[in-house]
Structure 1
Amino acid sequence: MQFKTKMIPLAGAIAFVFAGAASAQEQVVKIGHVGPISGAIAHLGKDNENGARMAIDELNAKGVTLGGKKVKFELLAEDDGADPKQATSAAQKLVDAHVNGVIGHLNSGTTIPASKIYHDAGIPQISPSATNPKYTQQGFKTAFRVVANDGQLGGTLGRYAADQMKAKKVAVIDDRTAYGQGVAEEFVKGAKAKGVQVVAQQYTNDKATDFNAILTAIKAKNPDVVFFGGMDAVAGPMLRQMKALGINAKFMGGDGICTENLVNLAGDAIGEPGKIVCAEAGGVEEAQKKSMDDFRAAYKKKFGIDVQLYAPYVYDAVMVMADSMKKADSADPAKYLPQLAKANYKGVTGTIAFDAKGDMKNGTLTLYTYKGGKREQIAVVK
């Protein structure tokens, strides 16, 4: 009995040595993801996080080797609550955790302040949804985005209001966030360039629920279109109050309002097709439609819910980052960053390639309206 008792720890020690040798052959690559998992737009933040998780799970299932060692990708998910201060804290936490790259943030107002922290640490960052042009105008070589920016998005909506909706007078509301203000300013530029009169400019915030004062002021101006720069959580109640006040103007907005959930938030104020027109900063042309449909089906099977908005772009952002690591044969940010800058990756959402600033080359936009309680595509434009 004594002989056997001595052998057990010895066997355990041998097993430990082999386990240590095996784990030495595997390296962990940490990918950070940040979005609002709490607050009014938590449904969008969770959608983004799900997109990242889907990509990480697929990479691990397929198996990736870097520098002769098998890689295990690990997702470090943080919540920024769509708040700039919380965003910088989350960014610092990821830097301290020595992540190899970051996907996020969701909002422009959180992405921009966080981007300096990642830049100073030399960590590549890809935002799947921040559209304010300032993000990539800071001269940070670590900053990229996989969607078109507000200059393209707001300007396109402004021109569409004039050319297709035949608007002569528009009223503009924004929520004073970096995103809301940016997309509204670009809408105004696009509309004015087409001779449209901006009869009112009003402001709210991203937590507001009562818009009666600003909507009453707008009603007196009798606009053809009301444009809102902000998110769906505010747009829904705003649409309900417009209906209650008898404002019959059409309603436009950027990607922040352009979600499946807007139907639930706005209720019967959603109106007939063409009443609401919004644009998503991205979109697939006919050749890419099958891969996007396949992604949406796989997402629903995995999570039991539909894609809200940007999950496919988050998925592609993770995949293009991983592909750059493969090309560099390293997860060291300094080594794979040059590969990321010259990426030419065919993703679910189309070909991902960046210009010198980190913006998408040939970024597409998708215009939508709502019909029968569902978002319906109008057109894909560039």
Structure 2
Amino acid sequence: MRSIALLSALLLTLPAAPASAQRDVIIGTASPLSGPGAHQGKDIENGARMAIDELNAKGIVLDGQKVRWRLMAEDDASDPKTGTAVAQKLVDARVAAVVGHLNSGPTVPASKIYASAGVPQISPAATTPVYTRQGYRTAFRVVADDSLIGRTLAGHALVALKAKRIAVIDDRTAFGQGLADEFLKEVRKRGGAAIVSRQFTHDKATDFSAILTQIRGKRPDVIFYGGMDAVAGPMLKQMKTLGLQAAMVSGDGVCSEKLPLLAGDALGDGKVVCAVAGGVEGPREAGYAAFLERYRQRYGMPVETYAPYAYDAVMVFAQAMQKAGSAQPARFLPALAAVRHEGVTGSIAFDAKGDLRDAAMTLYTYRQGKKVKLQVVHGM
């Protein structure tokens, strides 16, 4: 009995072991991992996963505990209804933050669910102005919105391409229609070109013969398309078949590495001009190029479009958490709103709505099947 009592006394004098030497911080991603946009959605997941792995290698401590960063990737199928279900699943899993969504259609309804739960969200791709104009303090993005992209593309079409007759097609999604509307608004504001046709398709269409035949009769020199590359590629093929010589101008949904495969020899040289919502130049180009090479080495393929923005979004969350000393959303959200981060896509800081300050856009074309940078343009 005496030995048991002594042992008990000795154990009481030993320091208590910590309840947990490590804590998990889960970052969610939401993007299409199935369907026509899966290559773009997987690009987002891949970029976020690169950031997660780099953070784990740093041994970051929050709330006095070493953090194990985890990624929870969910498929929203580019569908608003599925997007809201995915958002609720991520909230129920108690993620600390969400990188997503890709498409504007799922992003807007999902943002309400994140806001109600107090979970911060950074979209690496959604460009509809509606997203950040709902008044949610949890909604941010690291790309320019449609109003800036539409103005930039309109200016390029009118000035650089000297367009006089413009046809406009959109896919009726929140992204495609929103971008087309902003483009039209700027063309009409500037004047000097006629809108000769306004046509509509949908984001899973494959046959454009009717609308392209109607457009051909209007003799446009530029066709603006609001939508994604999965539709733009076949559309370019059918334009070639019909003898439509017009240039195609579009946004970042078209501006992918996969477009040459989707369009084949209909892509041409300099026939397509597209804008990606973001961009670096000068000394920052080396860091961006290094990211592209790390991505290629890891995944065995080039970046499509959005991986660098997803990577930066994760790093922005991590910086805000470190500043606040916590992964609790209520505690790091103020630091997120005030963040100043030098990312691979450029300087990141948010305005009062959650939009990127001094947002940049990069104009690209395609030559010999390769995407070629034309110029970086800042907010116009």
Mapping of residues 232-271 of structure 1, within 5 Å: 232-271=229-268
Deviation digits for residues 166-189 of structure 1, max 9, x if unmatched?
Answer: 001100000000000011011111
1:222 aligned partner: 219
2:342 aligned partner: 346
1:35 and 1:106 in contact (8 A); partners too:
yes
How far apart, in 1, do the equivalents of 2:148 and 2:281 lie?
Answer: 17
1:101 and 2:97 correspond: yes
Deviation digits for residues 47-90 of structure 1, max 9, x if unmatched?
Answer: 11000000000000111101111011110110001011110000
One-letter amino acid matched to 2:289: D
1:210 and 2:207 correspond: yes
One-letter amino acid matched to 2:228: M
Deviation digits for residues 108-146 of structure 1, max 9, x if unmatched?
Answer: 111111000000000000000000000000000000000
Deviation digits for residues 263-284 of structure 1, max 9, x if unmatched?
Answer: 00000000122x1100000111
1:111 and 2:124 correspond: no
Mapping of residues 307-322 of structure 1, within 5 Å: 307-322=303-318
1:157 and 1:190 in contact (8 A); partners too:
no
How far apart, in 2, do the equivalents of 1:336 and 1:176 lie?
Answer: 37
1:31 and 1:101 in contact (8 A); partners too:
yes
**Aligned pair partner of 1:92 in 88, 92, 96:** 88
Q: Secondary structure at the match of 2:283?
A: helix
How far apart, in 1, do the equivalents of 2:178 and 2:360 lie?
Answer: 18
**Aligned pair partner of 2:147 in 147, 151, 155:** 151
CA RMSD, aligned part only?
1.3
**Is 333-342 or 190-199 further displaced after alignment?**
190-199
How far apart, in 1, do the equivalents of 2:218 and 2:265 lie?
Answer: 24
**Aligned pair partner of 2:174 in 175, 178, 185:** 178
Aligned residues: 364
One-letter amino acid matched to 1:111: T
1:334 and 2:333 correspond: no
Deviation digits for residues 241-278 of structure 1, max 9, x if unmatched?
Answer: 000000011111000000111000000000122x1100
In structure 1, list runs of 5 or more residues that go unmatched.
Answer: 1-17
How far apart, in 2, do the equivalents of 1:369 and 1:131 lie?
Answer: 20
Q: Secondary structure at the match of 1:286?
A: coil
In structure 2, list runs of 5 or more residues that go unmatched.
Answer: 1-14
Deviation digits for residues 82-104 of structure 1, max 9, x if unmatched?
Answer: 01111000000001111111000
One-letter amino acid matched to 1:316: D
1:167 and 2:163 correspond: yes
How far apart, in 1, do the equivalents of 2:269 and 2:337 lie?
Answer: 44
How far apart, in 1, do the equivalents of 2:282 and 2:234 lie?
Answer: 34
How far apart, in 1, do the equivalents of 2:19 and 2:162 lie?
Answer: 65
2:33 and 2:42 in contact (8 A); partners too:
yes
Could you state the TM-score of these two structures normalised by the residue count of structure 2? 0.94
One-letter amino acid matched to 1:129: A
Percent identical: 58
